[in-house]
Amino acid sequence: MTPNPPRDSLPRRQPTIVTPRAEVGYRSVTWVGHSTVLLQIGPLNVLTDPVWSERASPVQWIGPRRVMTPAIAFDELPPVDVVLLSHNHYDHLDATTVRRIARCFPDATWLCPLGLPHLLERFGVRNIAERDWWQSVTEAQFTATCTPAQHFSARGLRDRNETLWCGWVIEADSVRVFFAGDTALNPSLEDIGGLLGPFDLVMLPIGAYEPRWFMRAVHMNPEDAVAAYRALVNGPATPPCFAIHWGTFRLTDEPVDEPPQRFARSWGDARLPERANWTLAHGETRRF
């Protein structure tokens, strides 16, 4: 295994966040790190799989440590309206962060797959919408649908697969965004694109994939992510593909900076437009 790069040595940008809320028609995405993303869709502020802790672990003295610190300071967040949770792994559902969001933004709506409300309630969350695959949540400002994924769940040694895992499609302010969560390449991606698309933004994981014999069943590699994009996008439109789940926590054997390089090569080999490959720097904001 190659050593980690020096702390905070990967590219970083100054985020552009509209506070407290953007106007109707404004849409942006900002990469905080790993699978944590701030979406500003009109006046709606959405977080995905928020993790601000130093380690992706049940304790903060051991476990995968950040290679890159969060690109948005927690205190600089705008008011959070919606949190999309994909599953209960520690690099996606962090107790300290959940408690902090619950205190600071008590009215936020948390969307989660089956089995997670009890845990979230323990962490102080009030407003929870629990859904199975293909079930939707409809509120005044948004509609969100829980989508299938190929992964697993666990927070300890005896609770494997006792809760569900998923992705989310959220539609607000006349745009539609797909957040894949954590998943391997699987046939349901074509169904998601056909039933819930077309999308204005696709967010796909590209990291944590080696050794392949072990990780293939639960994580996409960069080549799989390109295949997933092609399965999701039916028709001539080529919405941006935002590459996530890399460069923040060292979870597997590949070098930290390898995923975007391989993703770019595979993207080019597939003859997809370079403008649609959104492999962002930490903190970078893009309008869509």
Task: State the pLDDT at residue 157.
Answer: 87
Structural domain contains residue 214: yes
Span 158-172, mean pLDDT? 96
Which of the four pLDDT bands, split at 50, 70 and 90, describes residue 234?
A: confident
For position 61, what pLDDT does the model report? Answer: 86
The whole-number pLDDT of residue 3 equals 82
Q: What percent of the chain has pLDDT over 70?
A: 100
CA separation for the pair 196, 203 (Å, rounded) = 14
Which residue segment(s) compose the domain that 208 sits in? Answer: 27-56+66-287
**In 10 A of CB 142, how many CB atoms?**
19
Confidence of residue 96 (pLDDT cuts 50, 70, 90): very high
DSSP 271: T
Q: Is residue 2 part of a domain?
A: no
Residue 9 forms part of a structural domain: no
pLDDT of residue 235: 80
Residues 6+ apart with CB under 8 A from 55: 61, 62, 63, 64, 65, 66
Q: Does residue 192 fall inside a structural domain? A: yes
Residue 10 belongs to some domain of the structure: no
Mean model confidence pLDDT for the chain: 97
**110 — phi, psi (to 5°)?**
-105, 120
Indicate whether 6 belongs to any domain. Answer: no
- Give the pLDDT score at 187: 97
Q: Is residue 17 part of a domain?
A: no
Question: Which of 69-73, 154-158, 188-192, 229-233 shows the lowest mean pLDDT across its residues?
Answer: 154-158
- Phi, then psi, of 144 in degrees rounded to 5: -135, 140
Mean pLDDT across the stretch 97-102? 98
pLDDT at 148: 98
Q: Record the pTM.
A: 0.97
Q: Where residue 276 sits, what CATH number does that domain have?
A: 3.60.15.10
Give the chain's domain count: 1
Among candidate residues 149, 203, 150, the one with its CA nearest the CA of residue 175: 203
Residue 195 clears pLDDT 80, i.e. is over it? yes
Q: Is residue 40 part of a domain?
A: yes
Rounded CA separation 250/246 (Å): 8
